[in-house]
């Protein structure tokens, strides 16, 4: 009888332990389900993050390609602008050289014109003096006249017996001083 009671107590203890294990297993099952749900949610979050990362990587690649293309276009535009600037500087230098050459030619022509005007004035004075001498020496005066649009007569020809060039001639269209002023300004422009 004692052995039976002992056995019943043992079985009862085993049963209670079994029930506790079942409760514990149920709790662990709930915990496991909760853990599985959390893991699934974390996996979904990871997938979303991976998709976002892939999208950002694609955007970065697109931006890097656009930046590289813009840099290439900028380099080409800069090279083109530098070439155009060099061409313009060459053209400006050639234009200055051409203007300097034309200015030298113009100076030579104006110097020649000035010398010719002086020579014409000298001959005019000589002719006027000769006219007065011939007029006084003979009854039949010989009139020699020289018409020049670039010279202005000075004083009475017959009263002036000198053969030098007087102050009475001027360049047509302006004075010699104005001519030299224009030459000076042109030289300054070419030298700049």
Tens digit of each residue's pLDDT (9 = 90 or more) over 151-187: 333 333 344 443 333 333 334 444 455 656 665 665 6
DSSP string across 38-71:
HHHHHHHHHHHHHHHHHHHHHHHHHHHHHHHHHH
Residues 6+ apart with CB under 8 A from 3: none
Q: How many CB atoms lie within 10 A of CB 3?
A: 7
CA distances from 83 to 25, 72, 78, 92 (A): 85, 16, 9, 14
Q: What is the pLDDT of residues 99-144, one digit of tens each?
A: 999 999 999 999 999 999 999 988 888 888 877 878 776 544 444 4
Domain ranges of the chain: 2-191
Q: How far is the CA of 117 from the CAs of 54, 65, 113, 131, 149, in angstroms?
A: 92, 76, 6, 21, 10
Say whether pLDDT at 98 is over 90.
yes
Distance CA 33, CA 44 (A): 16
**How many angstroms separate the CA atoms of 109 and 100, rounded?**
14
Cα angle, residue 115 at apex, residues 109 and 121 outer, rounded to 5°:
135
Under 8 Å CB-to-CB from 157, ≥6 apart: which residues? 128, 129, 131, 132
Vertex 151, ends 147 and 153: CA angle to 5°? 80
- CA-to-CA distance for 104 and 96, rounded, in angstroms? 12
Residue 70 banded pLDDT, cuts 50, 70, 90: very high
First-last CA distance in the chain: 135
- What SS3 state is found at 80? helix
Residue 189's pLDDT is what?
A: 60
Q: Does the global pTM surpass 0.75?
A: no
């Amino acid at each position: 009888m004692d052995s039976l009671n002992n056995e019943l107590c043992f079985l009862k203890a085993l049963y209670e332990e079994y029930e506790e294990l079942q409760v514990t297993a149920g709790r662990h099952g709930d915990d496991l389900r909760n853990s599985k749900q959390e893991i699934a949610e974390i996996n979904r979050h990871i997938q979303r993050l991976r998709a976002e990362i892939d999208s950002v990587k694609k955007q970065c690649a697109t931006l890097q390609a656009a930046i590289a293309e813009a840099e290439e276009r900028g380099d080409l535009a800069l090279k083109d602008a530098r070439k155009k600037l060099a061409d313009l500087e060459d053209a400006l230098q050639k234009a200055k050289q051409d203007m300097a050459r034309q200015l030298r030619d113009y100076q030579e022509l104006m110097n020649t014109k000035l010398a010719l005007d002086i020579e014409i004035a000298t001959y005019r004075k000589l002719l006027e003096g000769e006219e007065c001498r011939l007029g006084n020496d003979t009854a039949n005066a010989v009139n020699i006249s020289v018409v020049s649009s670039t010279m202005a007569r000075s004083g009475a020809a017959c009263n002036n017996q000198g053969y030098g060039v007087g102050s009475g001639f001027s360049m047509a269209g302006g004075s010699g001083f104005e001519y030299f002023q224009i030459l000076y300004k042109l030289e300054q422009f070419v030298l700049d």
